[in-house]
Amino acid sequence: MAPKPRPRGRSRKQSRRVQGERRAPPIPFEPTEDEADPYGESEQEWEVSHIVDEDIDSFGVEWFEIKWRGWRGNDGKDTTWQDKAIFDEDNQHFLKKWQKTQEADLRKKACADPENIKIMDIAKEPGLFTSLAKWELEGGFAQKFKNLDQYPVDVEEILDAFNSQADILLTEENVQAKRSKPTRARSSTRISKTAAVSQRSSASSSTNNIRGQHAPTSLASSEEEHDDDDDDESRPFNLPSPIGHTAPSPTPSIIVDLTPRRPQTQSSSSQNSSRASSNRPELHKRRTIGPKSKQKFIGVELPRPSLLKAKSAPGVSSVSSSPSNRSSQSALFPSQPNSTRATPFSQSSSSSSSSFPSIIIYTLKQGVTAQWHGVTDAKQAAKVSFLNEVNYDDEPLPPGINLEFEYLEDDYIFDDGIEPPSKDFLAGCSGHRRCGDPSFCDCQVPSHVQNEAGHQIMAYDNEGLVILNSFGGTEIIVECNENCECCADCINRVAQKPRQIPIVIFKTEDHGWGVKSPQDLPAGKILGFFTGKVIQRRKAARLPTNNFSFDLDHQDDTTQANLDERFSVDASTCGNWTRFINHSCSPNCKVVSVFYDTPAESQSFLPKLAFVTKRAVPANTELTIDYEPQAQIANKNSKKGKGKIPDGAGPCLCRAENCRGYLKL
Ligand SMILES: C[S@@+](CC[C@H](N)C(=O)[O-])C[C@H]1O[C@@H](n2cnc3c(N)ncnc32)[C@H](O)[C@@H]1O
């Protein structure tokens, strides 16, 4: 059996656990020594030749593919994947060299493709930095664990830890600005949490990395350290400022000479958590920004999804092509979030104790995703991400989606000359805390939701799901509003709450980009609102393409009188994921008008358009609506209609049994 390569200058003794370190609990399927080390117990050591590749696992642990001098495994490969701890004092130079090359490579790429790869000064865009950091980690998860809830990992917890660490690397000014904000108490618990994670991590990495046995993640074991965290912890991270409006200049700029910062030592906030701070030298070190710290150029580029797809099957990491400590178990139960990995900027972390990154190089997809996450986070809404498994290289993002496109989670913006309606005219209900009976709610007067017996009922059941087939007449839901006296958890406030369903905008095989959710959805679930710019119907009629516009009523009346009073929403330059919802002749969703911030009875009909599931939708099923619901009844099963594409329509590719054969464009 070939000996397992070990770096020279590092004895096995050194790689074992040191006194005082905490041992991570065993994983359920911990491999035996033999399984974990198929190359035997030989003490022979081999020299590192160079680093071949780099990767980050779903817990943010950095891995390096090492080429060994004079070693070849049984499978003919001459590389193994090792975690970063393999680089001790003697072989740090390999890492440094690798980082330098990577950095230069990224710069070259950015210069060659300025449209898609940007360089920016993260000191000026801390929000983007934090979002990118988060996104990268989540991206890792998404790639490896397609169905997150099937796996014993707590994404929020990891993200929390990660957020804290990203925080640490903000510039002094930003850290100060953040401290002066009321989120301070929260950030202190986050930092203490990070400390706990870091500590576990460092204990385990020094124990395990050379031996080839991953210790378990065992996030559950961290409860002991986290039990003082408040409920707030599970909420999305509050960015310093949403970044939706701060798109960097399209021309890449590199800022070389930033002023050195004064020493930035352990924050008072982390001192608040004495338990965690008593034994975390690692964290102290990272929080120290030296007076003469040199700004570093740091780059990050994620492996392309297509690459990851080839490498990893859901739930099982196959990133390692070589015998190493990267067993499939370690992918499901990887080792702890790595304390040495303070940021996604892997190139910096080995020597980042006295510096922090100031420049980030990112792809357009990273930038846009970060921007959108900045907005969804600020709205406490679930994530929206992009996935192209069809032709990623040609189309990493949908056409028209770039840093100039403004993501609007649930708001409209209003075209010049259109006044948002005043909330003063909203009728509110009073005299009760919870709304259950519409006859007591003044706000329900315009609602037509009724039961089979024709009695008016509230639109939602106790689970917050729309009671389907209950609309007598126009499909509108009137929710309680800010003038109502009922409480915030009144059952008649559903659509107005932050979106709970994570969304993936994905490239379909043959009808452009579409939308799906990684979660199973029940029937009657409100998914989110169509957003964009409210324009007059008259203007909408003149749009070059109405692909991305939606009329704010269910009428196709285009008479002159009507045009001035009616509005449409144009999502061509601003909007959200709903603009990608495709048509199906047998749709699983429909659109319902919801009123809660504008009067339902005003002249100007300005509801929010909510997408609602019509039936239970399994995870990862494309979400669709009928672009022309009226036609459904007229053309039902009409074989005659099939094959004929009316003027102004295009061929429908929905593949539904009852497909009409065309869709109105
Ligand atoms: C609102 S957009 C939906 C997102 C669009 N697929 C994209 O990639 O941007 C509407 C356009 O999507 C395409 N589309 C939607 N549903 C379709 C279907 N069932 N068959 C063919 N094309 C469809 C048509 O080009 C239509 O004009």
Closest to 499 (Cα-Cα) out of 477, 527, 522, 531: 527
394, 511, 580: residue to mutate for ligand 1 pocket, most atoms within 8 A of CB = 511
Distance 620 CA to ligand 1 centre (A): 18
Domain around 637: 631-664
Q: Is residue 92 part of a domain?
A: yes
3-class state of residue 528 by DSSP: strand
Distance 65 CA to ligand 1 centre (A): 42
Q: Which residues line ligand 1 (CB under 6 A)?
A: 398, 511-514, 547-548, 579-580, 582-584, 652-654, 663, 665
Tell me, what DSSP letter sits at residue 231?
Answer: G
User: Does residue 624 register a pLDDT over 90?
Assistant: yes
Let me know whether 545 and 658 are in one domain: no
Q: Is residue 315 part of a domain?
A: no
Q: Whole-angstrom Cα distance, residue 187 to residue 287?
A: 14
- 93 contacts 49 by C-beta, under 8 angstroms: no
Let me know whether 508 and 652 are in one domain: no
Q: What is the ipTM of this complex?
A: 0.99
Distance 150 CA to ligand 1 centre (A): 32
pTM summary value: 0.59
Distance 265 CA to ligand 1 centre (A): 54
**Distance, CA of 462 to chain centre:** 29
* Buried residues in 335-350 as b, exposed as e (16+ CB within 10 A): bbbbbbbbbbbbbbbb
Residues 6+ apart with CB under 8 A from 198: 161, 165, 280, 282, 283, 337, 339
pLDDT-derived band of residue 38, with 50, 70 and 90 as boundaries? very low
Distance 512 CA to ligand 1 centre (A): 6
Let me know whether 524 and 587 are in one domain: yes
Residues 6+ apart with CB under 8 A from 43: 6, 12
pLDDT of residue 603: 57
- End-to-end C-alpha distance for the chain, whole angstroms: 66
| Burial class, 32, CB count within 10 angstroms (exposed 0-12 / middle 13-18 / buried 19+) | exposed
Q: Ligand 1 atom closest to Cα of 513?
A: 8
Residues of the chain with pLDDT > 70: what percent?
Answer: 50
* Sign (positive or negative) of CA dihedral 356, 360, 366, 369: positive
Q: Whole-angstrom Cα distance, residue 428 to residue 444?
A: 9
Let me know whether 641 and 584 are in one domain: no
Q: Whose Cα sits closest to atom 12 in ligand 1?
A: 582
pLDDT of residue 656: 94
Q: Ligand 1 atom closest to Cα of 512?
A: 8
Q: Is residue 426 part of a domain?
A: yes
CATH of the domain at 89: 2.40.50
Q: Whose Cα sits closest to atom 23 in ligand 1?
A: 511
CATH of the domain at 446: 2.170.270.10
List the Cα angle 251/253/257 in 5-degree steps: 170
Let me know whether 644 and 539 are in one domain: no
Distance 478 CA to ligand 1 centre (A): 30
| Tens-digit pLDDT profile for residues 153-180 | 344 544 454 444 433 333 333 333 333 4
Mean of pLDDT values over 645-659: 88
Q: Give the number of C-alpha atoms closer than 13 A to the C-alpha of residue 3, restricted to the C-beta side.
A: 14
pLDDT-derived band of residue 204, with 50, 70 and 90 as boundaries? very low
395, 625, 663: residue to mutate for ligand 1 pocket, most atoms within 8 A of CB = 663
Helical ranges in 145-208 per DSSP H: 155-168, 172-179, 184-208
Let me know whether 569 and 650 are in one domain: no
Residues in the chain: 665
Let me know whether 653 and 558 are in one domain: no
| Burial class, 41, CB count within 10 angstroms (exposed 0-12 / middle 13-18 / buried 19+) | exposed
Q: Whole-angstrom Cα distance, residue 536 to residue 417?
A: 9
Distance 508 CA to ligand 1 centre (A): 10
Q: Ligand 1 atom closest to Cα of 653?
A: 20
pLDDT-derived band of residue 377, with 50, 70 and 90 as boundaries? confident
Q: Whose Cα sits closest to atom 11 in ligand 1?
A: 547
Let me know whether 638 and 618 are in one domain: no
Residue appearing with tokens 């909007």: 575
User: Does residue 397 register a pLDDT over 90?
Assistant: yes
| Tens-digit pLDDT profile for residues 492-508 | 899 999 999 999 999 99
pLDDT of residue 100: 80
Mean of pLDDT values over 28-51: 56
Let me know whether 635 and 620 are in one domain: no
Distance 550 CA to ligand 1 centre (A): 14
